[in-house]
Structure 1
């Protein structure tokens, strides 16, 4: 009878030990699960913060680029208005002269208005994927920046081959092009490169496309090459850059479009390569 009681106690103790171990494992699993949830929430908050900073940076760049685009037309408009009293005092102010200057002024104002519309449409977030032609987006992006590049005497060379059409977020793709081009511009200006240039080459067919953007700014230092796409990494200083543009560009191409965004140094400078559908 004592032996039976001892066996029963052993079974009970064994069951209690198993239950204790099970509860210990369950507690650890719950703790690990809670830790994973906290980590995911932290990552989600960081991603939202990056997107927010990216939008602020894009808005700031948009304002700077609009200022570049508007400077010359505003000067022309100012000169047109300033000459009116001069011609009036000289006695040359007549209906034909007035009509001609009103027409010139209205054309400038319409150009300024179109510029605002172009930028508004360009930076409007995509809500759905759509099919778009790569070459159209290259040309659309160049229309926004060519004025600013011309003021900095930066030559733009374009070589487009094939007729690739991609399915994805059109404005996101264009903003990737814009980010890379503006980074090239900043490097060329900061380093005071003589005869600065940027080359854009694209090729592909169907849903396969490759876009290469190259400059002659001297390239990226080897010690920072591995961090160039890291969030908040910038070589421009706190007042000039947020360090999210290239990170968001890589995210857009690789996560949202299933492509690749890479960079390497050439004999002249940096070459960014976008590959989608390859």
Structure 2
């Protein structure tokens, strides 16, 4: 059997600038043999294979099953916590390859990783959010260097402590995990823990490791370090900022500098040191507060690096019917977009313009579920030393439902307002049809046999039948419009000519407008748009009714309502103008507020313009009002033409 101290470790290697503890002896990390490994033999050359670890001898590293085990010390710590918390340890360990009594008696044992994970999961189910704090407290209390802790900071620097943890004790305890360490000079270090794909995942293990790393300085009597975490299901990244060193060398250097300097300089140096420590403590507290705010935020928060999610809070996970934020870590952002939504491009647009964008996210584990509508904002920032895009997602499902109810309410009120006019519109063609049918009926009473009629009389009968049919078709058309605008339910965008919606609204509002004003129409071709015909008709209808209600029937021949359609700058435009009394600047400023109205009671709810603007903006357009007292009002709807929308989508996808 080759000597482990002489054997080289397989896998990729990285050479350290110095050995952390030259000559220290340690037993093979897997306890599968009695080999003694000299730390100096592998501290200078750190192996990074998937299987095996820095603290495992070459012989054990060749065992395919070895990487599925861990050392018993972490398990013993978990057992101690379970006992302290009054849990039934026998029940927790039932069915597992885990003899908790033997583990507490024996310093080195090999425990299957899966048994350890299930044991932790059962503890987490019993203790909930208290598991990680309890494990951390026990870790600090069960300090093997407790007698050394009071003066440990004078002899051991945080850098040395963390090197031992990252290169020796961590890999020795957990051969199942891969440790990738990046040292950041005197500032700190970054370590990535990765579980191989063929072992059971354990998110709580990463959370425990993060707290252990943060509180490790307490083992030598120092304050906890600042820590940044990114948790995934099989991978976690921890960045640790070293706390201020209290090593003997630092103390001697400070004493020498003070002896050579003036008393005033020494006092200033001490004051600067105090302020630095206070700033460090304040920064650590601020970071903890920020992390707590993000975790407890009702809005979803994600951090993206090169379009990959490196952090997500639980609120975002719940929004997408997932258990927790770590389930999203590692996902590409484009996989979350509902069909037709370029999430990456829209977030960049939100970041560049500083405005919220509307998008829809798919539910990852349920393709049949409805997409989740969100309002997203984004900003650029540094996150764990990397350029990142931080995005917030606000769930607007309830807002959309409320808006749908408001639209239906406004629609029903509008129908009630126009009921008399619609009745007139229906009665006119029906009366016309009835008159023609009565003429034919009288003719048939006098001459039952149509063949006896002369050619002129027969032509009159045919003309009357045609006129009656036209009257009935007109009544059917109005009834169809009535059914269309009165229909409830989800309304999706479709390709349409805006003039179709205008003509539908005119059929409804004509009688109402003509009671108080003349009506002029100029419906030019304006291109196709993507919108709802019914809802666009509802918007035009609201504008026509507002124009009619603003004028008095006493000036019917002077009053004028104009409706025009035209194309402008890749937009289809609809304008409704009137020469009524107009609005004051104060009124104009508030007209889009919900429930604000200047109409007399019974003529409106104050929802019309609010709902109209929401409908237009839903389809990417704008609704703008211009008005002056005594000069009337102009309302302009601008909707992007279909080819402009398609072109923009293609550009965004390619960027």
TM class, shorter-length: 0.7 to 0.9
Partner Cα separation in structure 2 for residue 43 and residue 176 of structure 1: 20
| 1:271/1:13 CA distance change after superposition, 3 Å | same
Aligned partner of 1:15 in structure 2 is 224
Selected match of 2:622 from 236, 243, 260: 260
Q: CA deviation at 1:245?
A: 1.6
TM-score (norm 2): 0.34
Q: What secondary structure, in the 3-state scheme, does the structure 2 residue paired with 1:15 have? A: coil
Partner Cα separation in structure 1 for residue 532 and residue 300 of structure 2: 37
- Contact 2:577/2:632 (CA < 8 Å) preserved in 1? yes
- Contact 2:560/2:578 (CA < 8 Å) preserved in 1? yes
| 1:274/1:69 CA distance change after superposition, 3 Å | same
Q: CA deviation at 1:184?
A: 0.6
Deviations 1:96-139 (CA, angstroms, capped at 9, x unpaired): 89x96x95777645533332013323555643421x23334433
| 1:93/1:271 CA distance change after superposition, 3 Å | same
User: 1:1-278 residue pairs with structure 2 within 5 A?
Assistant: 4-7=148-151, 11=218, 14-15=223-224, 21=285, 25-33=290-298, 43-44=399-400, 46-61=402-417, 63-73=419-429, 95=448, 103=465, 108-122=471-485, 124=487, 126-130=491-495, 132-150=496-514, 152-161=515-524, 163-171=525-533, 172-189=535-552, 192-195=554-557, 196-204=559-567, 207-256=570-619, 258-266=620-628, 268-277=631-640
Partner Cα separation in structure 2 for residue 205 and residue 39 of structure 1: 34
Partner Cα separation in structure 2 for residue 28 and residue 129 of structure 1: 42
Deviations 1:175-227 (CA, angstroms, capped at 9, x unpaired): 221110111111114x7444221012332269522222111211012221111
- Contact 1:164/1:206 (CA < 8 Å) preserved in 2? no
- Contact 2:529/2:639 (CA < 8 Å) preserved in 1? no
| 1:3/1:192 CA distance change after superposition, 3 Å | farther
| 1:232/1:35 CA distance change after superposition, 3 Å | farther
Q: What secondary structure, in the 3-state scheme, does the structure 2 residue paired with 1:226 have? A: helix
Partner Cα separation in structure 2 for residue 274 and residue 193 of structure 1: 27
Asked which structure has the greater CA Rg, the reply is: 2
Q: CA deviation at 1:271?
A: 0.7
Deviations 1:222-246 (CA, angstroms, capped at 9, x unpaired): 2211111122222224522122221
| 1:244/1:13 CA distance change after superposition, 3 Å | farther
Partner Cα separation in structure 2 for residue 7 and residue 62 of structure 1: 88
| 1:47/1:13 CA distance change after superposition, 3 Å | farther
Partner Cα separation in structure 2 for residue 114 and residue 58 of structure 1: 19
Q: Any gaps of 5 or more consecutive residues in structure 2?
A: 1-144, 154-216, 228-283, 302-314, 316-393, 451-456, 642-655
- Contact 2:593/2:610 (CA < 8 Å) preserved in 1? yes
**Which protein is richer in helix relative to its size?**
1
- Contact 1:62/1:119 (CA < 8 Å) preserved in 2? no
- Contact 2:424/2:511 (CA < 8 Å) preserved in 1? yes
Aligned partner of 2:85 in structure 1 is none
Q: Which has the higher contact order (CA 8 A, sep 6+)?
A: 1
| 1:110/1:33 CA distance change after superposition, 3 Å | closer
Q: CA deviation at 1:28?
A: 3.6
- Contact 1:263/1:270 (CA < 8 Å) preserved in 2? yes
Aligned partner of 2:48 in structure 1 is none
Q: CA deviation at 1:94?
A: 6.3
Q: CA deviation at 1:157?
A: 1.2
Deviations 1:140-186 (CA, angstroms, capped at 9, x unpaired): 43233323333x1521112344x221221241222221110111111
Partner Cα separation in structure 2 for residue 33 and residue 153 of structure 1: 51
Q: Any gaps of 5 or more consecutive residues in structure 1?
A: none
Partner Cα separation in structure 1 for residue 474 and residue 497 of structure 2: 25
Partner Cα separation in structure 2 for residue 119 and residue 232 of structure 1: 25
- Contact 1:173/1:253 (CA < 8 Å) preserved in 2? yes
